[in-house]
Amino acid sequence: MVVNGAAIEFKKVRKTYGNFVALESFSMNVAAGEFMTLLGPSGSGKTTALNSLAGFTDITSGDILIDGVSIARVPTEKRNIGMVFQNYSLFPHRNVLGNVAFPLEMRGVGRAEIRKRSLKALEIVRLGGLAERMPHELSGGQKQRVAFARAIVFEPRVLLMDEPLGALDLKLREAMQLEIKQYQQQIGCTVIYVTHDQGEALTLSDRLAVMDKGLIRQLGTPQDLYDRPNSRFVAEFIGLNNIIKISGSKHDGAIVDGLGVIRFPSEIQPSQGYLSVRPEHIRRTPTGGHPAIVRQAVFLGDAVRYVVETRNGAELTLAEPRSGENSSLDPGSEIAISFEENRLIHLPE
C-alpha cells in the first residue's frame, strides 16, 4: 500500500465566527508526502485549519487547494481525505472490520475486495486477529490503530490527524508516535497533524507551524524552530528556554536585565527585545563568568537541572549532563556561569 502524497496549499484562508477570528490570513504550502504539524495552544486556530481542509467548516474567505485544485466548494465526502480523530470516533455498532470497511463501502467497492483490503489495512497496524471485535472491547491503543487503518484503507493521498494521541497515556503515546511516523513513511501520504504537544511535534514532523490566535507565528523544520525561534511565543512554546529582557545596548553588547552586558553573535547588538538561551547552552565555569547562587536542583536521570539566580537577580535554568566530572550541587552553592556565545538568540518581541 503505497500512494503518492498530494500537495496542499492554503491561500490566505480566513475564518470568523461572529466577531471571533479563528483563522487570519492563513497561508501554508505542504509538499507532497510531507509530514506537517500544526502546533499551538487551544484556540490558536490549528483545529479550524484542519476542519476547513476536511470540509467541516466553511471558510470565510481564501482558498484551499489539493494538487492545485480548489476544494473549498467540494463537499466533505468528495474530498477523499483520510482522518484520525482525537477520541478515535470508531462507529460503536460496527465491529473492527466493519469500521475499517466503511470508507470502501461508501465508495462502492465490491464485497470480496472490501474484505481483502480491510484485512490488509488491519495487518499494517498489526491488528489482523481482532477483526471481529467490537470497539468497546479494545484498549485505547488498539482503537487508535483501528482508526488509523480506517483512515488509510481507501489509500487517500492526504491524511489528517487531530490530536490522535491526546487520550492515551504517556508511554503508549510515545510508542504510537514512532508507529505513526513509520506508517506514514511506509505509505507515503501527505500528513497534516494537529497537536498542542511540542515534544510530539518535534518528534514526528518534517516541518511544523507554530500557531497563535489564528496566525502562523513561525514555520520551519523542528531544528529551525528549536534553534532559531523568531519570537518569545515560539521560544517559550518549544522546549525549555531562558528568556530575559534587554533594556539597552552598548557598543560591545546588549544590556540584559540581571546579567549586564552580553555580546550577541551578530554584527549589530540589539537594544531591546529579549535574550533567549537554552538551558543546555549555559555552563558552569571555574573562572570569570556571572556569579550566581543555586536555588534549586532537579535530578532528571541523565542530567541535572539547576535553577540559579545571578547576583543582579536574573533567574536562569541550566541543564548539565551527568556524564561530566562536575559533581552535583546543593541549593545555596555559589557558582559562576557562562553562555555559549554563538547560541545566544535575540528575540525582537
Partner 1 sequence: MRAVLAVYFTVLVLFLILPLIFLVPISLTESQFLEFPPQTLSLRWYSAFFDDPTWINAALLSFRVGIGATFISLTVGTLAAIALVRAEFFGKTALTAIFIAPLILPTVILALALYIVFLRFRLVDNVLALTAAHSVVAIPYVVMLVSGSLRRFDITLERAARVLGASPIKAFMLVTLPYLVPSMFAASILAFFASFDELIITLFVSGGAQTLPVRIWNDLGLKIDPTVPAVAVMLTLLSVSGMGIGELIRRRNERRYNTITSAEV
Binding footprint of partner 1 on the chain (CB under 8 A): 54-56, 75-77, 79-83, 85, 87-89, 91-93, 102-103, 106-107, 134-136, 140, 143, 150-151, 154, 160, 167
Residue 149 near residue 102 (C-beta atoms within 8 A): no
C-alpha cell at 108: 462502492
Of the candidates 81, 77, 84, 54, the one whose C-alpha atom is nearest the C-alpha of residue 147 is 84
Q: For partner 1, give the closer residue by CB, 100 or 202.
A: 100
Q: For partner 1, give the closer residue by CB, 132 or 334.
A: 132
Return the H-helix or E-strand segment holding 13.
strand 8-17
Q: For partner 1, give the closer residue by CB, 77 or 123.
A: 77
Q: How far is the CB of 118 from partner 1 (least distance, A)?
A: 13
Q: How far is the CB of 121 from partner 1 (least distance, A)?
A: 12
Residue 31 near residue 7 (C-beta atoms within 8 A): yes
Q: How far is the CB of 199 from partner 1 (least distance, A)?
A: 21
Between the CA of residue 78 and those of 18, 28, 54, 74, 83, what are the distances in Å?
Answer: 28, 22, 10, 6, 13
Q: For partner 1, give the closer residue by CB, 151 or 254.
A: 151
Query: Length of the chain in residues, anyone?
Result: 349
Q: How far is the CB of 98 from partner 1 (least distance, A)?
A: 10
Q: How far apart are CA 72 and CA 52, in angstroms?
A: 8
Q: How far is the CB of 74 from partner 1 (least distance, A)?
A: 12
Q: For partner 1, give the closer residue by CB, 154 or 306.
A: 154
**Sequence-distant (≥ 6) Cβ neighbours of residue 157 within 8 angstroms:** 3, 4, 5, 6, 32, 66, 67, 80, 189, 190
Q: For partner 1, give the closer residue by CB, 154 or 274.
A: 154
Q: How far apart are CA 139 and CA 133, in angstroms?
A: 11
Q: How far is the CB of 285 from partner 1 (least distance, A)?
A: 49
**Which strands, in side-by-side order, build the sheet including 253-256?**
260-262, 253-256, 242-250, 274-277, 345-347
Q: How far is the CB of 158 from partner 1 (least distance, A)?
A: 11
Angle of the 140-152 helix axis to the 111-124 helix axis, nearest 10: 130
Q: For partner 1, give the closer residue by CB, 82 or 279.
A: 82
Q: How far is the CB of 126 from partner 1 (least distance, A)?
A: 21
Q: For partner 1, give the closer residue by CB, 115 or 343.
A: 115
C-alpha cell at 38: 500544526
C-alpha cell at 238: 518549544
